[in-house]
């Protein structure tokens, strides 16, 4: 009996890879290219819809620790991300197209993974199945998931940042550097003085947003992907303590610290495209061009892609799933990816890693693989399956959902090192 995996995003591909590595036959179902959501453009698997950054790469950060755990578990996503990385200071960012192409190639070359194209409409609970349909699941599979879960759905809105062509950035006004010198000249920085920032903020908060596809009065927005205009509306200086913070950067023209700094991160290996960091947005395209062109250095920027906003759906996992990502009611059905309420590319892949391994183990009659919250991968699984959570919200990995150390360590770096040492003790190098 083959394990059916619905969706070839990061979670689905990781699940397929892990299950196949354990000897299972896998059928990976993907509706592209026959059908695609509004946010998807490429026919490749593991398409990065929003940013090309997989966030911090050092083990002093919880997501960096999760990455290292996954590397030690032979993660496909981490192998491909490391092979296609582009400069991004202390973060791991990838060539968007190169990354997806490499994942696709490896999946297609795996002898015990069969790929079936087309939309899946039904879930057979008698078959081992991993639902990794993603937060933009099609209407038909969404209806089927609703049937299985009792329509226990929640949702929030996610947003993507615009991308500009590198040769349209005015480098007489911008400069290359990474904060605190980490990574060298990995970012293009557009400095603002107080007057420029104030004028930009005023136009941003009054700019016109695009209409939502669904009629909804108060859409919930995940804090980690908050549109820049919503952030700006919280106060004039809010952006200066967020993505536009000037700390750790010095303008080489006069060796001063700017009032605010807009950073751009390389989006492909060729260095021809840069995304505007932290500028997820739902403004109309014309308004994006008008307002973002006020940023010094971007006056004549060519927008390769404008920012977009879309609905992300996730299930009420604590009521539905165990910490192996298996459904409580249907013991052959698993979920993986952002639809479970884990938030972020790496977190999605991590859930797919455990779901894939556990489905393969269950199919072969072996015991489940479970991890405690001393580890980052276990902490995520335990968070989304914690029945005591009343108001379940999507969650990035963070040290706050991991088990406490049991000792008080004031130094933040030393504390992170202690978390990492404890966690990585579960895996050999």
**Residue ranges of the chain whose pLDDT lies below 70:** 35-40, 151, 211-224, 429
- CA dist., res. 2 & res. 112, Å (int): 9
- CA dist., res. 237 & res. 68, Å (int): 35
- CA dist., res. 349 & res. 251, Å (int): 38
Identify whether 33 is preceded by a cis peptide bond (ω within 30 of 0): yes
Predicted pLDDT of residue 139: 79
Strands 85-86 and 273-276: unpaired
Residue 156: name the closest of 115, 80, 110, 214 by CA.
214
- CA dist., res. 115 & res. 118, Å (int): 10
The reply to whether 69 and 203 lie within a common domain is: no
Element (H, E) at 320: helix 317-320
Predicted pLDDT of residue 36: 64
Predicted pLDDT of residue 217: 42
- CA dist., res. 197 & res. 237, Å (int): 9
Total tally of structural domains belonging to the chain: 2
Predicted pLDDT of residue 216: 39
Domain end among 275, 307, 339: 307
The reply to whether 210 and 250 lie within a common domain is: yes
Q: Distance of CA 428 to CAs 14, 71, 201, Å?
A: 21, 11, 50
The reply to whether 197 and 121 lie within a common domain is: no
Predicted pLDDT of residue 215: 38
Contact 379, 347 (CB under 8 A): no
The sign of the torsion formed by the CA atoms of 368, 373, 376, 380 equals: positive
Domain end among 307, 335, 369: 307
CATH of the domain at 176: 2.40.30
The reply to whether 167 and 131 lie within a common domain is: no
Q: Count CB neighbours of 323 within 10 A.
A: 21
Q: Which residues contact 254 (CB under 8 A, 6 or more apart)?
A: none
CB-neighbour burial class of residue 147 (10 A; exposed 0-12, middle 13-18, buried 19+): exposed
Domain end among 254, 286, 307: 307
The reply to whether 128 and 143 lie within a common domain is: yes
The sign of the torsion formed by the CA atoms of 94, 250, 411, 395 equals: negative
The reply to whether 405 and 275 lie within a common domain is: no
The reply to whether 171 and 250 lie within a common domain is: yes
Does the pTM of the predicted model rise above 0.85?
Answer: no
- Tell me the pLDDT of the chain averaged across its residues: 90
The reply to whether 270 and 318 lie within a common domain is: no
What is the phi/psi pair of residue 303, to 5°?
Answer: -85, 110
**What is the residue range of 325's domain?**
3-155+314-424
The sign of the torsion formed by the CA atoms of 383, 384, 387, 389 equals: positive
Supply the angle between the helices 345-363 and 10-21 in degrees, to the nearest 10: 30
CATH of the domain at 349: 3.50.50.60
In-domain check, residue 341: yes
The reply to whether 189 and 121 lie within a common domain is: no
């Amino acid at each position: 009996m083959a394990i059916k995996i619905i969706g070839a995003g990061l979670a689905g591909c990781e699940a397929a890879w892990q299950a196949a590595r354990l000897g299972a036959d896998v059928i990976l179902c993907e509706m592209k290219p026959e059908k695609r959501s509004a946010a998807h453009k490429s026919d490749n698997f593991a398409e990065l819809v929003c940013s090309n950054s997989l966030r911090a790469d050092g083990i002093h950060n919880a997501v960096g620790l999760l990455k290292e755990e996954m590397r030690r578990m032979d993660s496909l996503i981490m192998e491909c991300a490391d092979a296609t990385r582009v400069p991004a200071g202390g973060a791991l960012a990838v060539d968007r197209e190169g990354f997806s192409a490499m994942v696709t190639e490896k999946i297609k070359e795996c002898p015990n993974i069969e790929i079936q194209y087309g939309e899946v409409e039904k879930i057979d609970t008698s078959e081992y199945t991993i639902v990794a349909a993603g937060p933009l699941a099609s209407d038909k599979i969404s209806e089927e998931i609703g049937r299985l879960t009792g329509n226990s759905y929640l949702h929030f809105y996610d947003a993507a940042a615009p991308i500009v062509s590198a040769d349209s950035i005015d480098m007489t006004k911008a400069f290359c550097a990474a904060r605190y010198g980490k990574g060298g000249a990995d970012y293009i920085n557009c400095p603002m003085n107080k007057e420029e920032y104030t004028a930009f903020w005023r136009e941003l908060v009054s700019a016109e947003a695009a209409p939502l596809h669904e009629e909804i009065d108060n859409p919930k927005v995940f804090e980690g992907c908050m549109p820049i205009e919503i952030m700006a509306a919280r106060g004039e200086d809010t952006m200066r303590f967020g993505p536009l913070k000037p700390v750790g950067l010095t303008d080489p023209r006069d060796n001063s610290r700017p009032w605010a700094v807009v950073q751009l991160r390389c989006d492909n290996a060729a260095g021809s495209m840069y995304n505007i960091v932290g500028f997820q947005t739902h403004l109309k395209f014309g308004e994006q061009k008008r307002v973002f062109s006020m940023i010094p250095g971007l006056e004549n920027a060519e927008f390769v892609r404008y920012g977009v906003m879309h609905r992300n759906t996730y299930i009420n996992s604590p009521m539905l799933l165990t910490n192996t990502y298996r459904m409580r009611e249907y013991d052959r059905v698993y979920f993986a990816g952002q639809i479970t309420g884990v938030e972020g590319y790496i977190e999605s892949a991590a859930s797919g890693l455990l779901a894939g391994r556990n489905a393969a183990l269950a199919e072969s009659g072996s015991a489940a693989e479970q991890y405690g919250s001393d580890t980052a991968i276990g902490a995520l699984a335990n968070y989304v399956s914690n029945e005591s959570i009343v108001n379940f919200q999507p969650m990035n990995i963070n040290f706050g959902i991991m088990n406490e150390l049991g000792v008080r360590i004031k130094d933040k770096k030393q504390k992170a090192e202690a978390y990492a040492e404890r966690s990585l003790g579960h895996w050999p190098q």
